[in-house]
Chains A and B, each alone.
Chain A
Amino acid sequence: MTTLGPMGVEGVAAAARVTSVRRRRHGSTPASVALLVISGIWLFPIYYMLIDAFKPNNDLLHYPPQLWPAQWTLANFQEAFKVNGAGPTVPQPSFLTSLFVSAVVALVVVAFSMAVSLFASLAVARFNFRGRGTMLVALLVAQMVPFASLLIPIFIELNKVGLIATIPALIIAYVAPVLPFTIWTLRGFVASVPVDIEEAALTDGCSRLSAFWKVILPLIAPGLVATSIFAFILAWNDYVYAYIILGNSGTVFGQTEETASVWLFGLINPSRVTPWGELFAASLIFTLPVMIFFLIIQRRLAAGLTAGAVKT
């Protein structure tokens, strides 16, 4: 799972930072050209998905393939959102419902893990208590445990308490891999807020709590944003857990209860010809929130991080 790891957060910030500070006066042209070529190659799959989402089916199933659409259409998007239509053998579950389910799961995971990890990071960064060191080590080791390895025991555990195939179960399952990283990162942010500022607020008559609310929280906001995006992406993009723990047996609002990633996975099925145009139209919609988040925070993160530097 290639997600926004701890180093990645700094890496993006550094890359963005450098682009705003002119450290070198001369760039090498061959290197720039090479970068452009590489950018083109790396971008191609996304570009191809983008244009194929707008091609009519006849043009998609066409050789040689068109690198630029001869015709543009929104039919694929309409197909994707059709309910009980499309598939020749099985009625298509509702894509919109699956997006809703993905959104609910991801947002609750973010809210819950932010709240919980914020408290923990405060404890670890601002207090010195017995077991603090052990806790830090445990957090580090926990980050190393592969998420996929926990699937079987988590599945059995949740089944024992009768929660399998419910949305709360999936939310609980996603919080596990998120917490160690978020606590770790937020800890760095909290610790970087100088104690003096807090002291100043306290001497001005604020209670500890309102000092937190008015002073610390705004300063660690970029960290909260970055870590909440990490949590969101994990919950939004994941497939295996969503399939095993939530599955697609239940119903919500009369429609199949499944996440969007499960919906997309099921679209390629040996029992029928794959509807590529519809698949890419739906994939585009699925990828868009994360891509937009990433592109936004790429800049904001740099600003925030230079203000409250993450210490290594």
Chain B
Amino acid sequence: MSGDEPPAPAGPGGAAPATPRAQRRLVGRWVPYALSSPSLLVLAAIVGFPLVFCLVISFQEFGGYQLVTGGPTIWVGFKNYQDLFTGQFVPVLVRTLFFLIGTVGATLVIGLGMAMLMRRAHTWARIVLTVVLVAVWAVPQITAAQIFIWIFDPVYGVANWLLSALHLGSYLSLSHNQWYNYPISVLALAGTVVVWGAVPFVAITLFAGLLQIPEELYEAARVDGAGWLSQLRTITVPLLTPILLLLGVLSVIWDFNVYNQVAVLQNVGGISNQTTIFGVWAYDVGFVGNNYGAGAAVTMLGVLLLCIVTGAAVRMMVRGTRT
């Protein structure tokens, strides 16, 4: 969204007294500052300050004692970070990376597929899907996770029943709570819940993007004998790249910090230390472990990782505001 000033007849910023704009200034210079100061104050207090504060306490020993008594925190330098690196950092990171690749990949692919189908389908079919997607979008994450747990219930669940009806039961035994034994299946289920809830936003946004692509391009390609896959490769994806990038970045940020779905699943069973991904880890270290210094360190590591991963994309977007 580029900056869009109301067109001023002359001059940058309209400071010259001779411009009609200045004559119409009926309020003082202080007005914009007054209008924006409440927001800035709130943002500084609840976003800016906490970030800085988080950084500070990540270098301190801040545990239950400090929380309860407000007592003195001890400066320990990088000790919290060291403990994390010699501790669970690598397993959690690897787990999170695989989780991310799975969820972000699935979300984008499925979303794009849906958008492409929407483009080609009848209007009424499009409306049906849009309504369904909007309804899915509205479902809270906790609720979604709980529904999926029930669907995959080992004894009464629909999934188990479907698998046996399709005679796939022997390949994929869901009975006897066995699927909770394997962290990979727990994470796969969590990932499914995440993707289920994330696809609507992606599909609808990509559809809006697809509409920008002129039909003539596709017709020309069809005339040249290009199949749908080739059209996808040469027209759709390249033209959608900016949106795909943006959606990818947003998905990475959201999915990296997934907590709700995994927490609901861990509540039911399994080997929780092996299903902890980054968002859950921050909570575990900080609140479950009653160690807020270490929890802050995990948080800062997460922010740093995200900055690195999404840095290029953010720079592109920031440049967009200046034009």
Given contacts A153-B57, A237-B140, contact A298 B50 (CB under 8 A): no
Say how far B203's CB is from chain A's closest CB, in angstroms: 9
Compute how far the CA of A179 lies from the CA of B282 in the bound complex, rounded to whole angstroms.
24
At the interface with chain B, which of A77-85, A91-99, A260-268?
A260-268
Measured CB to CB, the residues of B under 8 A from A are: 1-7, 13-14, 24, 26-27, 29, 31-36, 38-40, 42-43, 46-47, 49-51, 53-54, 57, 62, 67, 70, 114, 117-118, 120-144, 146-151, 155-158, 161, 196-201, 204-208, 211, 243, 246-247, 250, 253-254, 256-257, 259-260, 263-264, 267-269, 279, 282-283, 286-287, 292, 295-296, 299, 302-303, 306, 310, 314, 317-318, 321-322
Given contacts A261-B140, A312-B1, contact A148 B49 (CB under 8 A): no
Measured CB to CB, the residues of A under 8 A from B are: 1-2, 4-8, 10-16, 18-19, 22-23, 27-29, 31-36, 38-39, 42-43, 45-46, 48-49, 52, 60-65, 67, 116-117, 119-120, 122-129, 132-133, 135-138, 140-142, 144-154, 156-157, 159-160, 172-173, 175-177, 179-180, 183-184, 187-188, 191-192, 194-195, 199, 202, 207-208, 233, 236-237, 239-240, 244, 261, 264-265, 267-270, 276, 279-280, 283, 286-287, 290-291, 293-295, 298, 310-312
Q: Establish whether residues A140 and B53, one from each chain, have CB atoms under 8 Å apart when the complex forms.
A: no
Compute how far the CA of A4 lies from the CA of B49 in the bound complex, rounded to whole angstroms.
26
Contact with B40, one of A6, A135, A240 (Cβ below 8 angstroms): A135
Say how far B191's CB is from chain A's closest CB, in angstroms: 14
Q: Which 3 A-B residue pairings sit nearest by Cβ, starting from the closest?
A: A27-B122, A14-B208, A176-B46
Q: Establish whether residues B208 and A15, one from each chain, have CB atoms under 8 Å apart when the complex forms.
A: yes
Q: Establish whether residues A32 and B130, one from each chain, have CB atoms under 8 Å apart when the complex forms.
A: no
Not counting A31-B125, A283-B146, a sample of 20 additional A-B residue pairs whose C-beta atoms are within 8 angstroms of each other reads: A1-B141, A1-B257, A7-B208, A35-B128, A45-B144, A45-B151, A48-B158, A138-B43, A148-B259, A150-B50, A150-B51, A152-B292, A156-B57, A157-B50, A176-B43, A180-B43, A191-B5, A195-B7, A287-B140, A311-B2
Q: Establish whether residues B196 and A2, one from each chain, have CB atoms under 8 Å apart when the complex forms.
A: no
Q: Which residue of B lies closest to A148 (CB)?
A: B257
Contact with A27, one of B14, B125, B146 (Cβ below 8 angstroms): B125
Contact with A65, one of B14, B135, B156, B250 (Cβ below 8 angstroms): B156
Q: Establish whether residues B47 and A176, one from each chain, have CB atoms under 8 Å apart when the complex forms.
A: yes
Say how far A140's CB is from chain B's closest CB, in angstroms: 6
Please, which residues of chain B bring their CB within 8 A of the CB of A7? Answer: 205, 208, 243, 246-247
Compute how far the CA of A192 lies from the CA of B5 in the bound complex, rounded to whole angstroms.
9
Please, which residues of chain B bring their CB within 8 A of the CB of A128? Answer: 5, 13-14
Please, which residues of chain A bring their CB within 8 A of the CB of B246? Answer: 7
Q: Establish whether residues B314 and A268, one from each chain, have CB atoms under 8 Å apart when the complex forms.
A: no
Given contacts A19-B130, A156-B67, A199-B24, contact A149 B54 (CB under 8 A): yes
Compute how far the CA of A217 lies from the CA of B216 in the bound complex, rounded to whole angstroms.
40
Contact with B47, one of A22, A60, A145 (Cβ below 8 angstroms): A145
Contact with B53, one of A4, A36, A153, A279 (Cβ below 8 angstroms): A153
Q: Which residue of A lies closest to B197 (CB)?
A: A2
Q: Establish whether residues B144 and A268, one from each chain, have CB atoms under 8 Å apart when the complex forms.
A: no
Compute how far the CA of A175 lies from the CA of B33 in the bound complex, rounded to whole angstroms.
20
Please, which residues of chain A bring their CB within 8 A of the CB of B282? Answer: 148-149, 151-152
